[in-house]
Amino acid sequence: MTNQELSVRILELVGGKENVISAANCMTRLRVKLKDPSKADIEGLKSTEGVLGVVEDATLQIVLGPGKARKVTESFVAEAGVTYVQAETEDWQANKQAIKSGQKDNKLKDALRVIADIFIPMIPAIIAAGLFNGVASLLSQTAFGKAAMTGGIEAGGFWFIFITMLQLIGGGFLSYFAIYTGINSANKFGATPALGGMIGAMSIMGQIVTISQTFGLYNAEVPLESILTTGKGGIIGVIAGVWILSKIEKKIRKIVPDVLDLIITPFVTLLITAVLFVFIIMPAAGFISDILVKGLSVIINSSNPVVSVISGYVLAAVFLPMVLLGLHHGLIPIYSVQLETFVAKMGVPGGVTLFPVLAMAGAGQVGAAIAIYLKARKVNNLRMQKTIIGALPAGFLGVGEPLIYGVTLPMGKPFITAGLGAGFGGAFVRLMGVGATAWGPSGLVAIPLMQTAAMMLNFFLGLVIAYVAGFIITSIFIKNEDVASA
């Protein structure tokens, strides 16, 4: 059957041209919007030569395969007399949108989305700074690096300057992380960005310690356990402070005459916010941060190897379901708390220990997809083979969405088996104490973010373990007939 003949046959089976509103195509599918979906002969479509499958959704999706989908669509719209629309969205992206659109928003998701909007613009800088600090740390641990840094500029020469430059670039962002957070928070909450940056800067100023000592809030023996000290509350406090700043600024601006707005509004806004921020928000946010740190110490940083293995397995296994529900953004403050602690104690082993564990989740998807690919070859499911081949390179590099929304999640069970496999990788990296200097994409590209050469190796081994475990578990529980009908 030619492409034109197939398009004519499809038009008949969907109820004729009078039942077609519009048509478009993606990489593998003809998507038809119908006036009355009940008039479409679904079984007839499924049994038509050249049709690989049918998906009933908001639009009727007729699976034809790469290349063929566009040719049949062009002929179809000509026969139906509707406007041709080239849909650039690939199948996995459409699946993702369909799944996300079916989820209900709530206050928790809205709050987590706000957090994501604040931090996502900073991810490139977080990654870059982490890489610079990571390379500087690695070089400092080598024989010539130690000699260069301990001997100073005259003894170290080039290597002293080079390592120092790497530390300068990395520290230029991470040391002032609170300021960037304040600026982005202000943009999100509708406050003046520079004022938001000032709130972030206040949190790391040395005068905080002077104020704390004056009011008896400072613990000289253990400064980090002070009720109020520099950096207390971290980014959690900064975000809360800027949110209050935005409310105060808007109210003051309404009552201040326009001619005095530029002078009075920022001055009064900062004065009121600063008092609230230093004496209420920072101590309160610090209390919350301390609870998070203590919780992490029990769950993710435990010295007990049994606890480490269990926590690593569970966290890696359940991470992708959290992503699916939009709850993963809630982990960003935890990443940030760990990053701030690491920067404050630069050189302390561990760093961001949660990120390497959760990064294993995507590796489990890769292993599951490889298992499905081999079964797809046995049952001659060409569509699934092409989908996986196209998505695997991205999966290895830490972009898991094409595999999740194009392969494992639509099939159902592989999404679960992939998570079960990922858990083994998470257990391994937690047992080995792997920590990162930052967080960012997962997969192979995250290897340079690990803190030491040994951690880089163990992170890679964790990925391999997750690949293999995801492959084995999926091979056992997913049958050939499951793949044949996918």
In sequence order, what DSSP letters do the residues of 100-129 get, joined into one string?
HHTSPP-HHHHHHHHHHHHHGGGHHHHHHH
Looking at the fold, whether 329 and 475 belong to one and the same domain comes out as: yes
Asked if residue 95 belongs to a domain, the reply is no
> What is the per-residue pLDDT for 89?
45
- SS3 at position 220: coil
Looking at the fold, whether 271 and 401 belong to one and the same domain comes out as: no
Residue 165 in tokens = 């430059």
> What is the per-residue pLDDT for 242?
96
Asked if residue 130 belongs to a domain, the reply is yes
- SS3 at position 31: strand
Looking at the fold, whether 433 and 377 belong to one and the same domain comes out as: yes
CB atoms within 10 A of CB 162: 16
> What is the per-residue pLDDT for 321?
77
As a whole number of angstroms, the distance between CA 158 and CA 155 comes to 9
As a whole number of angstroms, the distance between CA 79 and CA 76 comes to 5
Looking at the fold, whether 47 and 180 belong to one and the same domain comes out as: no
Looking at the fold, whether 205 and 133 belong to one and the same domain comes out as: yes
Which regions of the chain are under pLDDT 50? 87-90, 92, 346-349
Asked if residue 147 belongs to a domain, the reply is yes
Report the chain's C-alpha Rg in angstroms. Answer: 28
Instruction: Give residue 365's domain range.
Output: 315-484
> What is the per-residue pLDDT for 392?
86
Asked if residue 16 belongs to a domain, the reply is yes
Asked if residue 143 belongs to a domain, the reply is yes
Q: Examine the fold and report which residue of 246, 277, 300 is the final residue of a domain before the chain moves on.
A: 300
As a whole number of angstroms, the distance between CA 377 and CA 12 comes to 32
Q: Are 109 and 47 in contact (CB under 8 A)?
A: no
Looking at the fold, whether 284 and 365 belong to one and the same domain comes out as: no
Residues labelled catalytic: 26
Looking at the fold, whether 243 and 151 belong to one and the same domain comes out as: yes
Q: How many domains does the structure of the chain reveal?
A: 3
> What is the per-residue pLDDT for 114?
78
CB atoms within 10 A of CB 66: 15
Looking at the fold, whether 355 and 473 belong to one and the same domain comes out as: yes
Looking at the fold, whether 118 and 220 belong to one and the same domain comes out as: yes
> What is the per-residue pLDDT for 81?
86
Q: Examine the fold and report which residue of 300, 329, 364 is the final residue of a domain before the chain moves on.
A: 300
Amino acid at 329: H
Asked if residue 99 belongs to a domain, the reply is no
Which residue, 106, 177, 463, 460, is CA-closest to 332?
177
Asked if residue 309 belongs to a domain, the reply is no
Asked if residue 367 belongs to a domain, the reply is yes
As a whole number of angstroms, the distance between CA 112 and CA 337 comes to 16
Looking at the fold, whether 467 and 321 belong to one and the same domain comes out as: yes
Q: Examine the fold and report which residue of 72, 88, 104 is the final residue of a domain before the chain moves on.
A: 88
Distances (CA, A) of 22 to 60, 74, 83: 11, 12, 7
> What is the per-residue pLDDT for 461?
97
Looking at the fold, whether 190 and 292 belong to one and the same domain comes out as: yes
Looking at the fold, whether 9 and 155 belong to one and the same domain comes out as: no
Please state at what angle helix 123-141 crosses helix 143-156, rounded to 10 degrees.
90
- SS3 at position 195: helix
